[in-house]
Amino acid sequence: MRAGGVNGDVMYGELLDASRLGVRILLECQPAENEKLLIEVLANQDQCFNLTAEVVWAEPTGGSRFHVGCELCVELSAVQHATLKQMMAGLPPN
């Protein structure tokens, strides 16, 4: 993931859940509310899925990590959503 600000810091995390309108991710740093993120989902070396999202909320997990809820800047189509869910499940593309 990359912050959308001037410095574009790279952040590493895990995609926990996705809908056609938003995603929930786990990050090792707390992003600012309303910060735009470029999210690159890598399932393997052959699959990459890019999303642009805006941070809506961030909650600490009790450690040094944060659950983060984001609204997608562009709604996913049904096909895009299905592809992303397959990637999250570790399944090959159709």
| Domain chopping of the chain, boundaries | 2-89
| CATH superfamily, region 2-89 | predicted glycosyltransferase like domains (2.40.10.220)
78-84 — which CB contacts under 8 Å span 24+ positions? 78/20, 80/20, 80/49, 81/18, 81/19, 81/20, 83/49, 84/18, 84/41, 84/49
Contact 52, 38 (CB under 8 A): yes
**Residue 1 pLDDT class (50, 70, 90 cuts):** low
pLDDT of residue 46: 78
Work out the pLDDT band at 35, boundaries 50, 70, 90.
very high
| pTM metric for this prediction | 0.85
How far, in Å, CA of 13 to CA of 28, rounded? 7
- pLDDT reading at 25 higher than 70: yes
The one-character DSSP state at 90 is T
Predicted confidence at residue 63, as pLDDT, reads 84
**Cα distance between residue 36 and residue 71, in whole Å:** 9
pLDDT tens track for 60-83: 998 889 999 999 999 999 999 999
